[in-house]
Structure 1
């Protein structure tokens, strides 16, 4: 999982598999930080992996938005030093059921979210982010915050 975290441009990552009722079945993690964050999510019953699997869509939050989004899990996760998180659902597209989620913690989560949405590698997602920053003439931090907050979704055809 350390390779997955690195490929996503993140400090750590966790892969969670769930059953038909979204109950956690198995977890693979890149190390202590990801394991601790996922353990908190499991025990507290809320968090990014659970939301991504339940909602069948990517989720992300940074800074104070982590605490605002997940009232129980958020403060505990930020106490671990996590300042950003992004999660994407795992599904085949062949059924309405999601079988898990991949969550990444800390830097470059916007690239991981764009990568999941567009279905491209992280370097391609970074190129899309750079192109959007250039075309809009806006600070990269503002664009990244909008992506992670879910206010802007980059797709192969443009923003949505």
Structure 2
């Protein structure tokens, strides 16, 4: 799987998303300009000690992203999406793209990809969800559809012994 952040603005969101990517063996793609520096302490704080394990690629702009990922199957998450995210079928190598916190993905990019514009249903007139939450919701649906391949599926409880 691949997560693409188009011009992310908040380092804490990107740090949280990076940590989620490490936990799911998902590659993170960042399209500049970024609203922060990659060595920002808020990224490291949100990403904890996982940031150095992140498979990360940074692109100078959207065109460079397209040039370096020819034929990429891109799903664009947007409140303007025509399809509910859970109604789509995701390949294991697809790209899930999310826009910047203040404005989302530009409409000119959405118009060329209407068949892959997806949305997370929300109640009422709420404008949007937090970016890192949105990434998690859509990514885990895509991973579920692909059988959570290579992921740990069972936990282990340790019986507690109480002294009376």
Q: TM-score by structure 2 length?
A: 0.25
Between structures 1 and 2, the one with greater helix share: 1
Q: TM-score by structure 1 length?
A: 0.25
Higher RCO (CA < 8 A, seq sep 6+): 2
Larger gyration radius, structure 1 or structure 2: 2
Between structures 1 and 2, the one with greater strand share: 1
